[in-house]
Structure 1
Amino acid sequence: MRSLLEAAGSTEYPGRGLAVGRDEDGVAFIAYWLTGRSAASQQRRLAVGEWEIVVEDVSGGARDDLRHYTAAVRAADWVVVGNGTQVSELASARRSGTDLQLALRDHAYEPDLPIRTPRIFATASTDGTGVVVGSARAVPGAEDLVQHPSLYLAQLPPATAVTVKTYVGDVADVVADGVPEVVSCQGSWQSVAGVWDVLEPSLRVALLVVPLNAPTFEPAILAF
């Protein structure tokens, strides 16, 4: 099993990535990070509220739902995080008691041909139980079709996380990913902010790490 830092830093251009895990002390956390190739993608920030985390434009330009969206939603005992408009829809499904592995099947990859960026997401209870991480991605070799790889863990052991990112490869050769991976996660939840240091400096935009044992998102660590 490789570490979260190794997984996050294994490719030059990961696009967007997320992780849900428990640190060595058993504290559950989520992490979300953005990288960008274009000027428009670089001009974003993560805005943290009590119950939502939003990816916002900082250029003053028009809203683009592929770049500006609610990235995380929480209730008292659960959280949903991801890279697009599916986050709000999956949060509504969770409120209604729907299985999010099934709800994910209502979603497809992003309409950004020819890349077909996967829509990634994770959900968990705030104690680190009931973890689901998955994506809606193009089928390799049959890209007009959609597949929904997902991973369910009833209980995350301490010092363990599940992570997923949108891309593998580099800036010149963007390759869709979206496959969940179980990784080790040493240290405290605060140490997960080290993901920032393994991202390519010219591409990184923002990173957030937040513990789930707090009543809101506001204790988040931000890097940008």
Structure 2
Amino acid sequence: MDLLKNVLADNDYPGRGVLWCTTGDGTTLGAYFLTGRSPASQARTLHRTSAGALIVAPSDAREHDHLRHYVAARQSPNWLVFGNGEQVSTVADRLACGQAPLLALDGLDYEPDPPIFTPRLTVIADNHEGGQAWFGAARHSAGDRTATNRLTLHISDLSPSEGVLMTTYHSNGQEIATGAPFTEIRTTAETCGDLLDELWSALPPHLRIAAAVFTPRDLAGSSIRQTSRTRA
């Protein structure tokens, strides 16, 4: 496994990303981050609502865009759901109706933003079962098919310092492509604060928008970091 900081440092434009990992002190954590190139993408905030959800919102509330602005994380007594788009609310609602994680992740589609067709990335974490998580990725085919490729991945029993990362994009500095289906990583972080530091420092400074690290059952206690061009 490669170190998280090296995987991100080798990616000139990761886009949005989801991470599930266990730090050196044995704490299981989730993380979500945003990077962006356009002024509209960079003019966003990541903040908590009064209900404890995490919201990606425009700096100017009059400029809502359903692809850029969405609920990024929600929790219930049983589940934590986080990801890069409006599907987070869909999946959380399905879980609340009693659907199992694999069914809750089924039927999702990639974003309608040609030519890259951004993947929709979603993580469901079980609040009770010792760090179990299900990743879902709705991806466009590498060919001409318009039908969605749907990947699901079940993660359990992570050892300290292990994790799984998904990013929407990968770039070599010249071309942008859809990110790898998933990457297993190692983290040098010992604590939640360390993980946020490691994640933030590895993202391209000129593209960073926001990042959050959180524990299951305590989304309201998320640690959030944002660039100075966005409001806290």
Fold shared per TM-score above 0.5: yes
**Contact 1:133-1:163 within 8 A present in 2 as well:** no
Task: Find 2:206's aligned residue among 198, 202, 208.
Answer: 202
Please state if 1:45 is matched with 2:45. yes
5+ long unaligned stretches in structure 2: 228-232
- TM-score when normalising by structure 1: 0.91
Residue of structure 1 equivalent to 2:191: 188
Q: Which of 149, 153, 156 lines up with 1:154 in the alignment? A: 156
Q: Distance in 1 between matches of 2:104 and 2:27?
A: 27
List runs of 5+ in structure 1 lacking aligned partners. Answer: none
CA positional deviation for 1:105? 2.7
Compared CA separation, residues 143 and 59, structure 1 to 2 (3 A): farther
Partner residue of 1:30?
30
Q: How does 1:213-224 map to 2 (within 5 A)?
A: 215-224=218-227
Give the drift of 1:221.
Answer: 3.5
For the Cα contact (< 8 Å) 1:149–1:180, is it kept in 2? no
Residues 1:138 and 2:171 are matched in the alignment? no
Larger deviation, residues 112-121 vs 150-159: 150-159
CA contact (8 A) 2:45 2:226 kept: no
Number of matched pairs: 223
Closer, same or farther: CA 95–67 of 1 in aligned 2, 3 Å: same
In 1: Cα distance, 2:48 partner to 2:6 partner? 27
Q: Which amino acid aligns with 1:6?
A: N
Taking a change above 3 Å as real, the CA distance of residues 97 and 10 of structure 1, as seen in their structure-2 partners, is farther
Q: More displaced, 180-189 or 66-75? A: 180-189
Work out the CA distance in 2 between the residues paired with 1:171 and 1:37: 12
Query: Helix, strand or coil for the counterpart of 1:97?
Result: coil
Q: Deviations over 1:179-224 (max 9, x none)?
A: 1222112322221112111111111111111233x64422424233
Write the mapping of 1:49-198 to structure 2, written as runs, cut at 5 A. 49=49, 50-126=51-127, 128-170=130-172, 172-177=174-179, 179-186=181-188, 187-193=190-196, 194-198=198-202
1:18 touches 1:32 (CA, 8 Å); kept in 2? Answer: yes
Query: What letter matches 1:51 in structure 2?
Result: G
Q: Given that residues 119 and 178 in structure 1 are in contact (C-alpha distance below 8 angstroms), is that contact kept between their aligned partners in structure 2?
A: no
Shift of 1:76: 2.5
CA shift in 2, pair 1:176/1:66, >3 Å: same
SS at match of 1:64: coil
Secondary structure of 1:102 counterpart = helix
Q: Offset of 1:143 from its aligned partner?
A: 4.3
Please report the TM-score for the alignment, with normalisation by the length of structure 2.
0.88
Q: Work out the percentage of aligned pairs sharing the same amino acid.
A: 32
